[in-house]
Amino acid sequence: MEHLSQDEWVSQLENDDNAVIIDVRTDDEVADGVIKNAIHIDIYKGQEFVDEIEALDKNKNYYVYCRSGNRSGQACSIMGQLGFENAYNLEGGILEWEGDLVDLD
């Protein structure tokens, strides 16, 4: 797991053809908008969260964020324990995000 600043996160993401963005916030938080192309997997769902993460392709690179960077850091740590080698936490989370947000499709 790596903690990346927004600039590092965006730069790396834009040059990564194997990238998946994960939003680990709650349903209420996600209703305020998500980073484009993000998939929503709520970390507070406990075992259901773990089950959804385990179903993901371990060969992808995962860019993970939450509201402030704390839960996404926890999510990246869990992903590491589950055998994911490339999980990148967005430091500062959505609170410090300067890019656009879209409605979750």
Position 69 in a domain: yes
- Which range, 1-5, 40-44, 98-102, has the best average confidence (pLDDT)? 40-44
Position 105 in a domain: no
Residue pair 65/20 in contact (Cβ under 8 Å)? The answer is no
Is 66 catalytic? The answer is yes
Residue pair 6/92 in contact (Cβ under 8 Å)? The answer is yes
pTM: 0.95
Position 103 in a domain: no
Position 20 in a domain: yes
Tell whether the model's pLDDT for residue 105 goes beyond 70.
no
Considering the candidates 34, 38, 41, 66, report the single residue annotated as catalytic: 66
* Domain encompassing residue 33: 2-96
Name the H helices within the chain: 6-14, 27-30, 47-54, 70-81
Give the separation between CA 66 and CA 90, rounded to whole angstroms: 8
CATH number at residue 81: 3.40.250.10
33-86, pLDDT tens digit by residue? 999 999 999 999 999 999 999 999 999 999 999 999 999 999 999 999 999 999
Look-up of token digits 């080698």:
85
